[in-house]
Amino acid sequence: MPRRLLCVLMSAGLAVGTALGVTQPAQAADPTVDGGGRANAGVAPGARSGAMAKTAAIPAGYTVRGIDVSSHDHNLGPISWPAVAASGVKFAYVKATEGRTYLNPYFAEDYAAAKDAGLLVGAYHFARPDKRDPINEANFFVDSAKFTRDGQTLVPMVDIEWPYWSGAPTCYGLTPTEMSTWIRSFTDQVKARIGRPVMIYTNTNYWNPCTGKNASFGANPLDIAGYTAARPPLPAGWTAETIWQYAAGNPSQPGNYSQNVFKGTYAALTQLTGVPVAAPPVALRSRSNKRYVVAESAGAKPLIASRTTVARWEQFDVISAGGGYVALRSRANGRYVTAESKGAKPLIANRAKVSTWEKFTIINNSDGTISLRAAANGRYVVAESKGTKPLIANRTSISSWEKFDRISL
C-alpha cells in the first residue's frame, strides 16, 4: 500500500476512534504470554509486516548498516551472527523485554553471540504504556538489558509504537498528556539508572497524535521507522534521526531481519557506547569547486573552500550539540565555527563554547553529499561564488554550491 494512503488511513482511524469514543481498559490483561511485540512501527496499528523483501535497497547516503531482532527471528532456528557480520552489518539491537515481566528467552544468547561476532550491540524494550507503571517497567528493562560501559554496548532503546493485538486502542487508551507523561517517566528513569539518554524508536504517525506532537524529547537519540525509499518525516521535537529502520524484515524467511542504517560514520556510532571511541576529524570538500574548507589563518579569518589538500587547518571535529544538532570545532585553534551575526556574516571559527549560533543540522543528500543548516537562521551554508568567497549561511534551498563531501580522516 502506498505510504501516503497508509498515512491517510491511519489518521482517519485515529479520528474515527476518537469520535466514537472507542476505549479499552488501560489495565487489560496481556494479549499474549510470549511478548508478541517487536520493532515494527512502520506499519498500521494492529498489523505485522511480512511483505518486505530481503533485498530492500540500502538508502542512498547511508553506509553503516544494522539489524534488530526479537524472539520472532528464531522461528526458523538460531541466528548465525558470524554470517550477519560477514554480510556487512555493523550493529544490532536485540529485544530484551516487554512490559513489566516478559524477558526474551533468546536475549542473552543473541546479545553475547552478536558481540562475539564483532558487532556493536544494544538492548531494546517494547513499551506497554497501558500498564501505567513506567518506573517499574523501566527498572525491569535496565535490570535485564546488561548495559555495560565498554566500547561495544550501545545505549538501550525503548520501542514506542502501535499495540500489536486486535482490538487495542491505537494509543493504548491513553490521552496525549498521559502518554507524554508515561514516556517522560520511563526515559528519565532509564537515564537515572545508566547515566545516558535512552534511544527512542517510533513512527511519526504514532508519535504525533499519541503525544499531541510533544516536542520535548529531542535530546534523546531517535530511531525512526519508515519502510519507504525516502526517509519518512520526523516526529515533533527532532531535526535529525540517529537510526532509520527502513525495512521491517520477515521472520518467516531465513535471514530476513529488520534493516537499519546509522546516520553517520562507524566512528560516530561508537559515540553511542558506554566508552565512546574518539571520533576522527573530518574535512569538508565543496562540490562547487572540489576544494577543501579551511579555517584560514588558524581560524582568525572566515572559512573558505580554497585548499587542494588537507592539513591541520582543514580538519574539524563534529561534536554532538543535542537535539539533533552538531557543532564544528576547528583543529586549527580548538574554537567552534559560528554563523556570525545570526548567519548574516561569513562563518568563522572563533567561539569558545556552543550556543545557538554554533549549532548546525547535517543534511544527508541522496547523492552522498551533506549540507549544513545553521540553527541561527535556518539557512543553508553555501560556498559563495563557487568557493571564491567565504562560506555563509544564507541559502533557503540546496543546490551544488550548498553540497559538501564529508571525508573522515
Which helix (H) or strand (E) segment holds residue 115: the answer is: helix 107-116
Length of the chain: 409
How, if at all, do strands 404-408 and 392-395 pair? unpaired
| Cα–Cα distance measured from residue 90 to residue 120, given in angstroms and rounded to the nearest whole number | 6
Based on the residue annotation, tell me whether 296 is a catalytic residue of this protein. Answer: no
From 98, 110, 130, 161, active-site residue:
161
Whole-angstrom CA distances from 215 to 180, 371, 387 are: 10, 24, 37
From 110, 159, 223, 358, active-site residue:
159
Check if the beta carbon of residue 227 is closer than 8 Å to that of residue 205.
Answer: no
Based on the residue annotation, tell me whether 68 is a catalytic residue of this protein. Answer: yes
Instruction: Return the ∠ at Cα 157 (arms to 153 and 159), rounded to 5°.
Output: 150
* Strand extents, DSSP E, 287-324: 292-295, 303-307, 316-322
Based on the residue annotation, tell me whether 98 is a catalytic residue of this protein. Answer: no
Please give the DSSP secondary-structure letter assigned to residue 130: G
From 68, 73, 296, 384, active-site residue:
68
Phi-psi region of 256 (alpha: psi -120 to 50; beta: other; left: phi over 0): beta
Q: Residue 222: helix, strand or coil by DSSP?
A: strand
Check if the beta carbon of residue 295 is closer than 8 Å to that of residue 313.
Answer: yes
Phi, psi of 341, deg, nearest 5: 55, 45
Please give the DSSP secondary-structure letter assigned to residue 227: -
Residues acting as catalytic residues:
68, 159, 161
